[in-house]
Structure 1
């Protein structure tokens, strides 16, 4: 198999900041409650920007950072659960926007685990030797899918996008991908969004409708503290790695309290974790790559970094990376 390396990592957040105080003006909540229960202080909302706009901003940043032309890309994957439309794929719009005429492009939907699934998929294309370079972007405009009367969901979510470019590495001894494990626990009730109601009869007034985002908070909490922590334990054990050997951990930025639970379970201090949920909220699949970009921008080059995502599906998975050779 061909070795793979990371050559760019970038993120983008919309300009509009929405504070807890602003949400409390029309939701029965308060800054004190939101911070104490979630650790979230604010989030960003995309105003007059759609998911493809956010993803395009990231794509442009990635190309500039990697000093590449868009025509040098072979593949673009966008992970999202808030696409511009059911079709065409948001990735196809990004491909057109940046002029990546030689790249094929498609979307991947795995909710908050989307970046993990998309990155793992792109890795297979490159490691096969059939393709040289892939752009993976997670982009979400969660705000457009919120029920703004539902405080149990609305206070958590924000908008944002981030991604990476990976390419074949001529040095076969230096592979950034060390291990991965992807899982699904089929459950359509704990978290869902954009459900389309089937026809009940044929009539002129039929028109497609989508429902808003919904999550069962208690069930999500139990899923993470039971299934996801067990998954991490098994993943590390299978790869003969002790939690203390990890240089950096980036989990889905669901909320700060859940991340603290994962840290405590692993016996690690929060200094081992990269966090942005306090300032940008739960950005669904964009949370992990946003934190990854933040870590790399700070100059971190961890030899053992654990990425773990989890979300609707229920989908969850982990990738172990060596980023010591990131330029």
Structure 2
């Protein structure tokens, strides 16, 4: 049987650093308040025209170049995003063109902040089918273009970024197990709502709504659901939380990651973290965390890594990796 294997992981972020003091210049907030409440010190924002597809293309180019993969060898490109360049064409199709990956099928996948985990799980199935040999899985979000900067309860959280992996075929499973859920809570987090028209008029023109989240509701949903879910997922695999070497979660905010670590009685050093300096990069945050872990000095041979995602939908789940 054929299994998927991560050949390489990498990440890219925009050049512009936006500090908490920068945000305090345009809204009623402060560095002390932001750091104490959500643990974010700064974030990167696409203020030089870097759109979702550009960040994702930069990731894709590095993945193929560093693995000596020819673009025409890529069979499939999956992009996890909820801030696409446009509703159509898919951001993945733009990457396919820029990469000159002429043999690749390309599509976007949207489960918001859970997107990378969902895309990786999807790509794993394509590899297992035997029909697809090399698959790019990229999470890319330019959240800044969807923010209402008058809404300080949301806008202080977010940054922009992209990360991804190149999957190839292997003879040993690296994705050991997964479990993904969607529950009925569409008003907890939403973005890009498009209104219908009320009448037939030449004055009608499409408009799109800004990102919005109910911060306290998100926090309560996560802390009441995710810890027990992690434990039950691991128990199904005859594992405990202590058996996991590293946790890579959605980078919602530092305080929430710290709370998850506390609730499952694990040291925070086992959690990959980038939210302090990149902000909440939505689907990209988990992918950045995995890339940073894989490119660190840590020897992952034989290690177990648990991906833990949660986001709008409300979606959540786990993917267990064995390196």
Report what 1:37 is aligned to: 37
Paired positions, count: 320
Secondary structure of 2:217 counterpart: helix
Could you tell me which of 204, 210, 222 is aligned with 2:208? 210
Aligned-pair CA distance for 1:130: 1.6
Within-5 A mapping of 1:1-327: 1-47=1-47, 48-169=49-170, 172=171, 174-302=172-300, 303-323=303-323
Distance in 1 of aligned mates of 2:80 and 2:298: 25
Secondary structure of 2:184 counterpart: strand
Distance in 2 of aligned mates of 1:273 and 1:66: 27
Aligned-pair CA distance for 1:229: 2.0
Distance in 2 of aligned mates of 1:195 and 1:207: 14
Per-residue CA deviation, residues 42-82 of structure 1 (Å, 9 max, x unaligned), is 00001211100000000011112211111111000000000
Distance in 2 of aligned mates of 1:234 and 1:185: 17
Distance in 1 of aligned mates of 2:180 and 2:237: 14
Per-residue CA deviation, residues 77-99 of structure 1 (Å, 9 max, x unaligned), is 00000000000000000000010
Distance in 2 of aligned mates of 1:54 and 1:221: 29
Aligned-pair CA distance for 1:187: 1.7
Secondary structure of 1:43 counterpart: strand
Aligned-pair CA distance for 1:234: 1.6
Aligned-pair CA distance for 1:202: 1.5
Distance in 2 of aligned mates of 1:240 and 1:230: 15
Single out whichever of 95-104 and 223-232 deviates more from structure 2: 223-232
Aligned-pair CA distance for 1:181: 0.4
Contact 2:231 2:240 in 1 (8 A): no
Per-residue CA deviation, residues 139-177 of structure 1 (Å, 9 max, x unaligned), is 0000000001111011000000000011111xx3x2111
Distance in 2 of aligned mates of 1:301 and 1:185: 37
Secondary structure of 2:310 counterpart: strand
Secondary structure of 2:178 counterpart: strand
Aligned-pair CA distance for 1:110: 0.4
TM-score normalised by the chain length of structure 2: 0.97
Per-residue CA deviation, residues 29-50 of structure 1 (Å, 9 max, x unaligned), is 0000000001100000012111
Unaligned runs of 5+ in 1: none
Distance in 1 of aligned mates of 2:315 and 2:25: 34
Secondary structure of 2:260 counterpart: helix
Secondary structure of 2:56 counterpart: helix
Secondary structure of 1:6 counterpart: strand
Distance in 1 of aligned mates of 2:260 and 2:85: 33
Aligned-pair CA distance for 1:300: 2.6
TM-score normalised by the chain length of structure 1: 0.96
Unaligned runs of 5+ in 2: none
